[in-house]
Amino acid sequence: MASARTLDDVAVKGLRVLVRADLNVPMQDGKISDLTRLERLAPTINELSAAGAKVIVCSHFDRPKGKPVPAMSLRPIAAALGTVLGHEVAFADDCIGPVAEAAVAKLADGDVLVLENTRFHAGEEANDPNLSQSLADLADIYVNDAFSAAHRAHSSTEGVARLRPAYAGRLMQAELAALSAALGDPQRPVAAIVAGSKVSTKLDLLTNLVAKVDILVIGGAMANTFLAAQGHDVGKSLQEKDLHATALSILATAKEKGCEIILPVDLVVSATFAPNPPTQVVGIDAVPANMMALDVGPATVAGIIARLPHIKTLLWNGPLGAFETPPFQTATNALADAVAKATVDGTLISVGGGGDTVSALRLAGAADSMTYLSSAGGAFLEWMEGKILPGVEVLSAGLSNLG
């Protein structure tokens, strides 16, 4: 992939700039529960505004399925964005048509406007050329700062980018740089940790990674499936029995490609899945029939930590245990500490991502010490799976279309 143009490549003063943002913030009881997405977006918007652009922000929010749903309006999120930016933010009740056009016409250089939820129009997810054109009509140039939505070829992420000169925003740029450093042309040896609940949700990921990384650590409940496939009795542990053959074929491919696989050597087991139950540490051949593995054991973690000094780049997706329920965050936290320390010491490039992975690394206090922690769940995984992200691809494809 050719690299995308960035804000360094354009003088925006006086231009109407359509910014595709990800304002799809997590909500709890009608309130925004985490401002991270807005904070990460601020540099791009503030830079454009300070440079005298008329900044027009668009985004999806939730799943209104192509119709206006008042509870899924971006209006309250626009207000929160204003607070994060420390800058007044106007709002338009539609993302296209006369309402949006009138709001754009009122903008002075440096002003910021948020448009209503793009998914209030069915054309958004259909990547309808009419919707793309209506969005393009609002602006002189297009900036995509929503890496987290770039795995979808929608009007606001892909279609519109074909109709205007298109650039990567600062957050998009940072994501692309970090991910290329980790998986594009990484400093070797490169290791990946893939853990979490299910092999089935991460098959493409495992398949892509065994061909690209030198070491693959498999943890979490998905390790149970691999251990069971190898003939270990995992008791009542969460596992996918129908994926034993798949697990074995992933191991065979790894061997063929020279990718070393690290599976747990010990496990933390419990008879009940509840906070602070009685637990035992057992070897992988000693899981009692009535118990389940809810975390990898101390010898496993020590083994992984001992390898860190010999690893230059580490990709991490998936908590090693059922981290939401104490004490099954123990292995994840211990490894997170070691990864954070090696990163801060400058001996390791560490890139993490995935919805639960980000929460787990935050809880572990390691989030700010990682080289890069991607806030893009699905898009991060698809990138790690080796897929082409349409919203990213079009930013470089646009170079030949529009010069």
Known catalytic residues are: 37, 198, 355, 378
Q: Would you give the binding string for ligand ADP spanning residues 346-385, x where CB under 6 A is met?
A: --------xxxx----------------------------
In whole angstroms, the minimum distance from the beta carbon of 354 to ligand ADP comes to 3
Cβ atoms within 10 Å, residue 136: 21
Interface mask (CB under 6 A) for ligand ADP, residues 199-218, using x and -? --x-----------------
Q: Which stretch binds ligand ADP (CB under 6 A): 8-16, 141-149, 303-311, 321-329?
A: 321-329
Q: Is 196 in the site for ligand ADP (CB under 6 A)?
A: yes
Sole residue written with tokens 């092999």: 199
**309 upstream amide cis, omega within 30 of 0:** no
Contact call for residue 82 and Mg ion (CB under 5 A): no
Shortest distance, position 355 Cβ to Mg ion, whole Å: 4
Verify binding: residue 356, Mg ion, rule CB under 5 A. Answer: yes
322 interface partner picked from ligand ADP, Mg ion, none, CB below 5 to 8 A per type: ligand ADP
36, 133, 197, 208: which one binds ligand ADP (CB under 6 A): 197
Q: With binding defined as CB under 6 A, does residue 269 bind ligand ADP? A: no
Give the orientation angle of helix 390-402 with respect to helix 170-179, to 10 degrees. 110
Largest CA distance in the chain: 70
Report CA Rg, the chain: 23
Amino acid at position 281, single letter? V
The length of the chain is 403
- 């490894």: which residue's tokens? 335
| Residue 156 neighbours by CB under 8 Å, 6+ apart | 20, 58, 59, 60, 95, 118, 124, 135, 149
Residue from 4, 92, 209, 293 touching ligand ADP (CB under 6 A): that is 293
Which C-beta is closer to Mg ion: that of 145 or that of 356?
Answer: 356
CA distances from 147 to 61, 281, 359, 383, 392 (A): 15, 41, 19, 10, 7
Q: Which does 264 bind (CB under 5 to 8 A by kind): Mg ion, ligand ADP, none?
A: none
Among 43, 52, 277, 355, binds Mg ion (CB under 5 A): 355
For 126, other C-beta atoms within 10 Å of its C-beta total: 15
294 lines the binding site for ligand ADP (CB under 6 A): yes
Residues that bind ligand ADP (CB under 6 A): 196-197, 201, 220-221, 238, 293-294, 317-319, 321-324, 354-357
